[in-house]
């Protein structure tokens, strides 16, 4: 249970740093009743959600479900990769035209940066109490909260990979038999890929990326694309979200997934309300819904997500939180070490 001990212990220590605490000294806002919050939110009428963790169709479905639950409030879901979303957010801020109300990313470093600049509206949803204890209080000031998590594992095409050829280790991506037949996502675009690359570097060292490049792996922008390339048969194996792989397999596609012997890489995705939001009540209500609603649990299970709610088991044989060996970089590592990993990647792949 490395995720429980190492990641969250380091997470708490990192986020308790005095400089970050000074950046936002005021106490978190208490959660008003949902009825009062909804009444205020209806006057605002909409919110814009910059979202990374979910595929576009799921993000849009979530927006529609929220609007069904809370009529009169529209969700404008803008789905991109992590670094593209963060770049767009910063461009909005620099131009003085903030469009994003709620920001959800797979890159923990984004939230350290935004918090340090005083760009997040501190708000602790009452729904946080429903979440598994390992996912609570990731930020002691309540500037951001975990709203989703998914594990990265090995994904393979069952028609092309069978029996003893099924990979069991992350290092199997270097096996010559998969030369030109594997796919991975770029850490310069994808926060999930960044977390994965940090753990691969920790396991195997700086030179591992050059070996990966020498095996002619295909590089994409999003970890979501990795499952797509395997499902289509374009590639035989990949490093990708096993939750998405399980969903695709349940629909009759030839996709399998494996928990590597070194452990899954858990990608934790927080969300936050932007301090510049012109629709703060709708944004707070959306945060309450994202974290604690039965709608999100239902949609998540239908899409084979890992439930954050205490006592809810994931579907399709997927591992519950804390039930298997898991790796995860800390926010500080995502902020301080990822730039070097991206440079190592660029040197190895030339892109």
pLDDT in tens, 72-111: 999 999 999 899 999 999 999 999 999 999 999 988 899 9
Alpha-carbon span 198 to 333, nearest angstrom: 8
Q: What homologous superfamily is domain 2-148+268-319 in, according to CATH?
A: Periplasmic binding protein-like II (3.40.190.10)
Residue 4, pLDDT > 50, answer: no
Residue 242, pLDDT > 60, answer: yes
CATH number of 150-265+335-344: 3.40.190.10
Looking at every residue in the chain, the average pLDDT score rounds to 88
Whole-number pLDDT of residue 232: 97
pLDDT band, residue 25 (cuts 50/70/90): very low
Spatial contact of 267 and 152, defined as CB atoms under 8 Å apart: yes
> CA torsion, points 199, 204, 209, 213, in degrees to nearest 10?
-120
Residue 323 has which token pair? 């039930």
Whole-number pLDDT of residue 137: 76
**Alpha helix (H) residue ranges in the chain:** 2, 8-15, 18-23, 34-44, 56-69, 82-95, 108-116, 191-204, 208-214, 223-232, 242-250, 280-292, 294-302, 331-336, 338-349
For the ranges 57-61, 148-152, 275-279, the one whose mean pLDDT is highest: 275-279
Residue 23, pLDDT > 50, answer: no
Residue 31, pLDDT > 60, answer: no
**CATH 3.40.190.10 location in the chain:** 2-148+268-319, 150-265+335-344
Alpha-carbon span 303 to 270, nearest angstrom: 19
Alpha-carbon span 103 to 88, nearest angstrom: 11
Query: Which of 234-248, 305-319, 333-347 is the least confident region?
Result: 305-319
- pTM for the whole structure: 0.77
Region 182-186 average pLDDT: 97
Paired with 31 in beta bridges are none
Query: Which of 20-34, 50-64, 332-346 is the least confident region?
Result: 20-34
Decide which of 350 and 9 is more confident: 350
Measured at the CA of 248, the angle between CA 245 and CA 252, to 5 degrees, comes to: 130
Decide which of 114 and 30 is more confident: 114
Whole-number pLDDT of residue 32: 52
For the ranges 84-88, 123-127, 309-313, the one whose mean pLDDT is highest: 84-88
DSSP 37-51: HHHHHHHH-EEEEEE
Region 269-291 average pLDDT: 96
Spatial contact of 190 and 221, defined as CB atoms under 8 Å apart: yes
Provide the 3-class DSSP secondary structure of residue 322.
coil
């Amino acid at each position: 249970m490395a995720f429980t001990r190492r990641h969250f212990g380091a997470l708490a220590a990192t986020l308790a740093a005095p400089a970050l605490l000074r950046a936002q000294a005021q106490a978190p806002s208490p959660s008003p009743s949902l009825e009062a919050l909804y009444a205020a939110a209806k006057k605002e009428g909409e919110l814009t959600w910059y979202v990374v963790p979910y595929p576009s169709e799921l993000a849009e479905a979530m927006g529609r479900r929220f609007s069904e639950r809370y009529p009169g409030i529209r969700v404008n879901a803008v789905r991109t990769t992590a670094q593209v979303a963060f770049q767009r957010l910063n461009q909005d801020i620099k131009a003085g035209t903030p469009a994003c109300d709620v920001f959800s990313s797979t890159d923990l470093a984004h939230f350290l940066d935004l918090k340090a600049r005083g760009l997040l509206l501190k708000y602790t949803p009452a729904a946080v109490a429903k979440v598994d204890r390992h996912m609570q209080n990731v930020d002691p000031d309540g500037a951001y909260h975990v709203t989703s998590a998914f594990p990265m594992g090995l994904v393979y095409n069952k028609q092309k990979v069978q029996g003893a050829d099924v990979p069991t280790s992350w290092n199997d991506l270097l096996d010559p038999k998969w030369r030109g037949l594997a796919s991975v996502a770029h850490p310069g675009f994808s926060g999930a890929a960044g977390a994965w690359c940090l753990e691969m570097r920790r396991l195997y060292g700086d030179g591992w990326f050059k070996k990966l490049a020498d095996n002619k792996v295909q590089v994409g922008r999003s970890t979501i694309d990795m499952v797509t390339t395997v499902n289509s048969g374009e590639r035989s194996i990949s490093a990708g979200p096993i939750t998405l792989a399980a969903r695709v397999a349940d629909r009759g596609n030839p996709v399998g997934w494996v928990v590597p012997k070194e452990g899954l890489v858990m990608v934790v995705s927080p969300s936050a309300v932007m301090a510049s939001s012109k629709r703060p009540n709708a944004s707070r209500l959306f945060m309450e819904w994202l974290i604690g609603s039965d709608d999100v649990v239902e949609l998540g299970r239908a899409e084979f997500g890992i439930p954050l709610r205490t006592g809810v088991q994931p579907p399709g044989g997927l591992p519950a939180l804390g039930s298997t060996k898991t790796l995860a970089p800390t926010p500080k590592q995502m902020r301080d070490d990822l730039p070097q990993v991206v440079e190592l990647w660029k040197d190895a792949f030339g892109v």
